[in-house]
Amino acid sequence: MIDFKNVCFRYENEDTIKNISFHIDKGDFVAVLGSNGAGKTTISKLFNGILKPTSGDVTVNGMNTKTTRTSALAKHVGFLFQNPDRQICKNTIREEIMFSLECIKAEKKYAENQCSKILKEFGFDGSRDPYTMSRGERQKIALASIIVTEPDVLILDEPTTGLDYAECMQIMRIVSEMNRKGTTVIMVTHDMELVLDFAKKVLVMNDGQMLILDEMRSVMKNREVLQTARLLPPQIADLTMRFDGFEKIYTHDEMLLKLKERTGQRV
Ligand SMILES: Nc1ncnc2c1ncn2[C@@H]1O[C@H](COP(=O)(O)OP(=O)(O)OP(=O)(O)O)[C@@H](O)[C@H]1O
Ligand SMILES: [Mg+2]
């Protein structure tokens, strides 16, 4: 579904993305991790042609981002900016959502149906002004205006930063439901607990290079990779790395079960 082949990208003199190659299958859920400035936002913009590789090729659904118009790619790849205010540009939620559908040249009747459906799903009053709403609400408006176009691939750049727990879970429930229905999700995040709960695979970036793309559980206990990328493992994974016999434990629930089994006690 998505192929990066020897991809390099430079803003100025030096390569920011350094010769990256990988493949992502349809329906996957990949978390992109790395410390500040590692190149996560840059790589995520290469997925949908906002940025084009300086050398190498990015192919999505068989379309090379260098030779495909960005508007054609936008039909297949939805992109949620790190900051929703970089995305929202209309005075009402309804206009914002309709604008997304216009960008992919959706037919009027279909657009109106889709818009009503998504407003209902998110519980939005379409006549409200996004800028009178909270940051979490604006994040949801930005997300709604992307998923209304039903993209095959969803790129999310830190979708939950600055949100409270309830808002974060609401966004993640919507995203994981889309993934369950077959949408491929690429999510940049700093939140290791979210990675543990939702990601199937993890791609780790460090200084513009890809350190690894592998199954989530295997990366979460790969000390060498995490240390090189200056990342802390999630708490339970970190704790269980220090005990023999706890190698397969990653979550609180798994930890409780294991302790119960070991001690013969109710926990
Ligand atoms: N428009 C730009 N022009 C020049 N350099 C840039 C531009 N955008 C990013 N960079 C540089 O490219 C490198 C990677 O930046 P990028 O924003 O991709 O990192 P990131 O991993 O998303 O970081 P963060 O966790 O802070 O969001 C950084 O050194 C950054 O300063
Ligand atoms: Mg970033």
* Ligand 2 centroid – CA 242 distance (Å): 32
Atom 4 of ligand 1, nearest CA residue: 11
CA angle centred on 25, ends 21 and 30, rounded to 5°: 75
pLDDT score, position 263: 86
Evaluate whether 220 touches 234 at the Cβ level (below 8 Å). yes
User: Which atom of ligand 1 is closest in space to residue 39's alpha carbon?
Assistant: 18
Question: What is the gyration radius of the CA atoms in the chain, in angstroms?
Answer: 20
Prediction pTM value: 0.92
Residue 213 shares a structural domain with residue 251:
no
Rounded CA-CA distance 181/204 in Å is 26
CB 34 within 8 Å of CB 230: no
Residue 266 pLDDT > 80: no
- Does the beta carbon of 38 sit less than 6 angstroms from any atom of ligand 1? yes
DSSP H or E segment with residue 154: strand 153-157
Q: Residue 178: what pLDDT?
A: 94
Residue span of the structural domain in which 130 resides: 2-221
Task: Quote the mean pLDDT of the chain.
Answer: 93
Cβ–ligand 1 distance for 34 under 6 Å, the answer yes
Cα gap 63→57, rounded to integer Å = 10
Residue 135 is encoded by which pair of tokens? 């940051």
Q: Quick one: pLDDT band at residue 233, thresholds 50, 70, 90?
A: confident
CA of 255 to the centre of ligand 2 (A): 33
Of the candidates 195, 185, 187, 186, which has an alpha carbon nearest to the alpha carbon of residue 232?
A: 195
Residue from 262, 265, 196, 203 nearest 235 by CA = 196
Distance 225 CA to ligand 1 centre (A): 21
Q: Which pLDDT tens digit goes with each residue over 32-51? A: 999 999 999 999 999 999 99
39 alpha carbon, closest ligand:
1
pLDDT band for position 254 (cuts 50, 70, 90): confident
Q: Which amino acid is at 235?
A: Q
Look up the CATH number of the domain holding residue 109.
3.40.50.300
Q: What is the pLDDT of residue 267?
A: 57
Residues 238 and 216 in one domain: no
Atom of ligand 1 nearest to the CA of 82: 27
Rounded to 10 deg, the angle between the 108-122 and 135-147 helix axes is 140
What's the confidence (pLDDT) of residue 246?
84
211, 225 contact by CB (below 8 A): yes
pLDDT per position as a tens digit, 99-142:
999 988 899 999 999 999 999 989 999 999 999 999 889 999 99
Q: Name the domain count of the chain.
A: 2
pLDDT(219) > 90: yes
Task: Tell me what the mean pLDDT of segment 188-214 comes to.
Answer: 96
- Do both 241 and 199 map to the same domain? no
Specify if 228 maps to a domain. Answer: no
- pLDDT tens-digit profile of 57-82? 999 999 999 999 988 898 899 999 98
